[in-house]
Chain A
Amino acid sequence: MSVGVSVRPFDVARVRADFPILAQKIYGRDLVFLDSAASAQKPRAVIAAMTEAMERQYANVHRGIYWLSERATEAYENARDAAARLLKAYDRSEIVFTRNSTEAINLVAHSYGRGVLRPGQAVVISEMEHHANIVPWQMLRDAHGIDLRVAPITDSGEIDLVSLARLLEDGRVGLVALTHMSNVLGTCTPARRLAALAHAHGAKLLLDGSQAIVHRIVDVQEIDCDFYVFTGHKLYGPTGIGVLWARHELLEQMPPFLGGGDMISSVSFARSEWAAVPHKFEAGTPPIVEAIGLATAIAYVEALGYEAIAAHETTLVDHALSRLSSIPGLRIFGHAQDRGGVVSFALEGAHSHDIATLLDRQGIAVRAGHHCAEPLMQRLGVESTARASFGLYTTKDEIDALAEGIDRVREFFA
Chain B
Amino acid sequence: MFEDLRDLYQEVILDHGRRPRHGSRLAAFDATARGDNPLCGDRIALWLKYAEGGAIERVGFEAKGCAISIASADLMAETVAGISDEEARQLAAALQALAKTGDAPIVPEPLAERLERLLPLAGVHEFPSRVKCATLPWHALLAALTGRENATSE
| Residue positions of A touching B, CB distance < 8 A | 349-354, 357-358, 361-362, 368-370, 374, 377, 383-384, 408, 412-413
A residues less than 8 Å from B66 (CB atoms): 351-354
Q: CA–CA, A105 to B132, complex, Å?
A: 31
Q: Write 13 A-B pairs (CB below 8 A) sorted by A numbering.
A: A351-B66, A352-B66, A353-B40, A353-B66, A353-B133, A357-B5, A358-B2, A362-B1, A368-B40, A369-B41, A370-B41, A383-B43, A408-B2
Closest CB pairs A-B (n = 7): A351-B66, A353-B66, A383-B41, A384-B41, A370-B41, A383-B64, A369-B40
Whether A361 touches B41, Cβ cut-off 8 Å, given contacts A351-B67, A354-B68, A413-B67, is no
Given A351-B65, A357-B130: A384 touches B40 (CB 8 Å cut-off) = yes
What A residues does B39 contact at CB under 8 A?
369
Interface string of B72-116 (1 = CB under 8 A from A): 000000000000000000000000000000000000000000000
How long is the Cα–Cα vector from A362 to B4 in the complex, in angstroms? 11
Q: Is B42 an interface residue (CB 8 A)?
A: yes
- CB-nearest residue of chain B relative to A383? B41
Indicate if the CB atoms of A413 and B14 lie closer than 8 Å.
yes
Question: Which of B1-50 touch A at CB < 8 Å?
Answer: 1-2, 4-5, 8-9, 14, 18, 39-43
A368 to B39, CA, bound (A): 10
Number of interface residues of B (CB under 8 A): 21
**Closest residue of A by beta carbon distance from B64:** A383
Please determine whether B40 and A354 come into contact, CB atoms closer than 8 angstroms: no
Q: What distance in Å separates the Cβ of B84 from its nearest Cβ neighbour in chain A?
A: 33
- A374–B41 contact, CB under 8 A? yes
Which B residue sits closest to A408, measured CB to CB? B1
Chain B residues with CB under 8 Å of A408's CB are: 1-2
A413 CA / B9 CA spacing, docked (Å)? 10
Please indicate the chain B residues that have their CB under 8 angstroms from the CB of A384 in the complex: 40-41
Q: Are A357 and B127 within 8 A (Cβ)?
A: yes
Please, how many angstroms separate the alpha-carbon atoms of A357 and B9 in the complex? 10
- Determine the residue in chain A with the shortest Cβ distance to B65: A351
Q: How far is the CB of B74 from chain A (nearest CB, A)?
A: 14
Task: State whether A412 touches B41 (Cβ < 8 A).
Answer: no
A368 to B14, CA, bound (A): 19
> Could you tell me if B40 and A412 are in contact, using CB atoms closer than 8 angstroms?
no
Cβ of A353 and Cβ of B130 under 8 Å apart?
yes
- Complex Cα spacing A384 to B68, Å: 15
Cα distance A152–B5 in the bound complex, in angstroms: 41
In angstroms, Cα B39 to Cα A323, docked, is 29
- Complex alpha-carbon distance, A349 and B42, angstroms: 16
B61 → chain A closest CB, angstroms: 15
Please determine whether A361 and B2 come into contact, CB atoms closer than 8 angstroms: yes
Q: Could you say which residues of chain A place their CB within 8 Å of the CB of B9?
A: 354, 412
Q: In the bound complex, do residue A354 and residue B41 qualify as a contact, i.e. CB atoms below 8 Å apart?
A: no
Q: A351-B66, A354-B67, A369-B39 are in contact. Are A412 and B133 (CB under 8 A)?
A: no
Alpha-carbon distance A368/B37, docked complex (angstroms): 13
| List of B residues within 8 angstroms of A352 by Cβ | 66
Would A361 and B40 count as touching, CB distance under 8 A? Answer: no
Nearest to B127 among chain A residues (CB) is: A357
A361 touching B5, Cβ below 8 Å? yes
B56 to chain A, nearest CB (A): 28
B1 CB, nearest partner CB in chain A, Å? 6
Provide the residues of chain A in CB contact with B14, threshold 8 Å.
413
Q: A383-B64, A413-B14 are in contact. Are A358 and B5 (CB under 8 A)?
A: yes
Among the interface residues A354, A383, A384, which one has the most CB atoms of the partner chain B within 10 A? A354
B residues in contact with A350, CB < 8 Å: 67
Closest A residue by C-beta to B42:
A383
Name the distance in Å between B7's Cβ and chain A's nearest Cβ: 11
Closest partner residue, chain A, to B39 (CB atom): A369
B43 to chain A: which residues have CB within 8 Å? 383
